[in-house]
Amino acid sequence: MIKKIFFQLVFFNLFFLKEVFAAESGGMPQLNPEFWISQIFWLTLTFGILYVVLSKLILPKISANLELRKSQIQENIEAAEKQRESSEAKLKEYDDIISKSKLEANNIFKEARENVLKEINAKKETLDKQIDEEVKKVEQEINLLKKGASEKINKIAIETTSELLVKLIGTEVNSSSISAIVDDLSKRNGNKYYGN
């Protein structure tokens, strides 16, 4: 039912439309020369005025504005470039100063280290010398003592032997023969006692 009404409406309207078109079919108004002269006149007038005003007043201004902006931007870019360069130079300077001072500090440190090392070495050497000397002295003393000790021991051995002999046998024996025996013994057994 609704469908039927819809189609009826559509067809009725189309029919109506056709009637309207048929009733009012005229030619193209564009081909009616009634107002051609008027259109040409007004076109020339308006377009002429538009052209004159645009070309004499407005377009030069726009072009000048664009040029000005371009140059201004260019200037700004150049200024920024200059500042960047100067800042870069300053940064370089700063870096140089830092690296120089680092080097200096390194040198000072090295020098100080060397000085200290030299001093230490010198002191060490003198100390070593002193120690060596003292060691030598002591060794000499020890050697002296060693030598003296064997003689003393021999003496003591001779004396004790003669006294023992006196007490045991009751007679005095020639000390030179005792000393010869003791010397002989000590020479033979000296190694055992003194470790030489």
Partner 1 sequence: MAANPMTQFEVYRIGPEIKIGAFDISFTNASLFMVVSSLAILIIFNLGSKKNSLLPNKVQLLAELSYTFVSKMISDTAGSKAKPYFSFIFSLFMFVLFCNMFGMIPYTFTVTSHIIVTFVLAAFIFIGVTVIGFIKHGLGYLKLFVPSGVPIVLLPLIVVIEIISYLSRPISLSVRLFANMMAGHTMMKVFGGFVISLGVVGGWLPLSFSVALTGLEILVAFLQAYVFAILTCIYLNDALNLHH
Single residue of 1, 3, 4, 61 touching partner 1 by CB under 8 A: 61
Phi first, then psi, for residue 3 (nearest 5°) are: -55, -45
Q: Report d(CA 129, CA 73) in Å as an integer.
A: 83
Tokens matching residue 125: 């050497």
Q: Based on CB atoms, which residue is closest to partner 1, 69 or 147?
A: 69
One of 1, 4, 26, 192 touching partner 1 (CB under 8 A)? 26
Does 169 sit near partner 1 (CB under 8 A)?
A: no
CA distance 151 to 186: 10
CA dihedral 146, 152, 156, 157 (to 10 degrees): 60
Binding pattern for the stretch 73-92 against partner 1, x by CB under 8 A and - elsewhere: x-------------------
Tell me: does residue 185 bind partner 1 (CB under 8 A).
Answer: no
* Residue among 1, 4, 31, 169 that touches partner 1 (CB under 8 A): 31
Q: Does 50 bind partner 1 (CB under 8 A)?
A: yes
What one-character DSSP code corresponds to residue 173? P
CA dist., res. 90 & res. 77, Å (int): 20
Footprint of partner 1 (CB under 8 A): 6, 9-10, 13-14, 16-17, 20-21, 24-32, 34-44, 46-47, 49-51, 53-55, 57-59, 61-66, 68-69, 72-73
